[in-house]
Amino acid sequence: MSFSEKVFRDPVHNYVHVNHEIIYQLINTKEFQRLRRIKQLGTSSFTFHGAEHSRFSHSLGVYEIARRITERFEQKYNSKQLTDGWQAEETMVTLIAALLHDIGHGAYSHTFEHLFFTDHEQFTQEIITSDETEVGRLLRQFDPLLPEKVAAVISHDYPNPQVVGLISSQIDADRMDYLLRDAYFTGATYGNFDLTRILRVIRPHKTGIVFKHSGMHAIEDYIVSRYQMYMQVYFHQASRSMEVILSHLLKRAKAIFTDNIQYFELTSPKLIPFFQNNFTLLDYLALDDSVLNCYFETWTTHSDIILSDLADRFINRKVFKSVTFKSEDNLKPLIANIEAVGFDTNYYTAVHSSFDLPYDFYRPKSINPRTEIEMIESDGTLAELSTLSPIVKALTGVKSGDTRFFFPKEMIIGQNSLFETEIQAFQAQIINGRLKEI
């Protein structure tokens, strides 16, 4: 019996078309369905209330963009007609890699990662290749070599640079979907760009993926949109504040675990393997945002005042305030005042940095060299994007963002008159969201 096309209605792409049974089966695995319960933007929903979309919808979107690109490549740039064209047999591994590229993301993704030293890309590869997962077994049943091929795309070791470039580069299906999707759900319209035009000018090349020179302005628009989204959405100070609170909450739970084993066995058993640093792939897959939120709600009544307070702050969005600063030496009097009021500064203060590089050309000696965006002329010659575009050149190699000092809001509003002197001294150093240099 032949497979009948399935479609998913999507607010960004209108329809997501599934034309292969293996893709539909992968979508219905429990590992992929778990992505419905992990928010795409983590704590950003505390700032942009519409940002409730999931990694499930994003993954479908990445697949759809990859589907459109590979379909066009097969029709217009087939390797049977071009020596550096697209090989049709690479389409399936590309579509599956696009669909599964985020399947290893954990509960609250990056915040959880930093505290418990997990790596979502490593888990993505493990989920894809493991015989313990529905995804791994399904892929191996379809083609015994397929799991390793897809995992190689994720790790950037796949031998075809065209496939890798479509999934992971400075302009790939992943980035194009999350910019448009995050802009849609946050209401930040400056994250929009002309996807239709980009998909029209993209083409395969022996070096990877290139773009026709006639589409340069659409690429410029994409780069600027990416810059704006990082500055205005991804690096928003309120979202980062909630990240800090979440990180400190989990850190506190881990710190008091040994003296409260029975309590955590009753209220939050799925976190215990992570507190003990003895977790498996299945332990990792048992967690999602909803599980953690349930645990946090329970912790609001714990007798440990720091754990219960941080849980309350996270569940009920009681953000920390923050200021930018030039030197950490200038933070010392602030920290002393916070301690004097009675806050444990290990849990109620943080220095948090967020920086992004909107675009860069290839620098082979850098720690994480980037594949540059190349434009192709009608005669076949290639030119790196920043050599053609003054707009992109201005953003090339320039990191943007800031480092902020986070602290309890009470230090600004002065709720406790017993510490009025300390609070006033603290406030005297804060001017318009910046630390007064002394």
Q: What CATH number does residue 307 fall under?
A: 1.20.1250.30
Q: Answer with the one of 183, 213, 235 that is the final residue of a domain.
A: 235
- Are residues 308 and 194 located together in one domain of the fold? no
214 with 329, same domain: the answer is: no
User: How many other CB atoms sit within 10 Å of the CB of residue 380?
Assistant: 9
The stretches in the chain having pLDDT less than 70 are: 1, 361-370, 414-419, 437-438
| Whether residues 125 and 182 fall in one domain | yes
Domain contains 265 = yes
Region of 108 please: left (phi>0), alpha (psi -120 to 50) or beta: left
191 and 172 in a common domain? yes
pTM score, two decimals?
A: 0.94
CB 140 within 8 A of CB 96: no
In a domain, 280, yes or no: yes
Residue 213: how many CB atoms within 10 A of its CB? 16
How many domains are contained in the chain?
Answer: 3
Domain-embedded: residue 417 = yes
Residues 11 and 30 placed together within one structural domain of the fold: yes
* pLDDT computed for residue 365 by the predictor: 54
Beta-bridge partner residues of 403? 353
Q: Are residues 364 and 404 in the same domain?
A: yes
Q: Decide if 178 is inside a domain.
A: yes
Domain boundary among 183, 209, 235: 235
* Domain end residue (candidates: 290, 318, 346): 318
Asked if 129 and 259 sit in the same domain, the reply is no
404 and 277, same structural domain? no
305 and 348 belong to one structural domain: no
Whether residue 216 sits in one domain with residue 67: yes
Say how far apart CA 287 and CA 270 lie, in whole Å.
Answer: 7
| Inside any domain, residue 1 | no
Residue 222 lies in a domain: yes
* 288 and 327 both lie in a single domain: no
- Asked whether residue 76 is domain-assigned, the answer is yes
Residue 435 is predicted with a pLDDT of 85
The CATH number covering residue 125 comes to 1.10.3210.10
**Residue numbers of the domain that contains 340:** 320-438
Whether residue 93 sits in one domain with residue 230:
yes
Give domain status of residue 194, yes or no.
Answer: yes
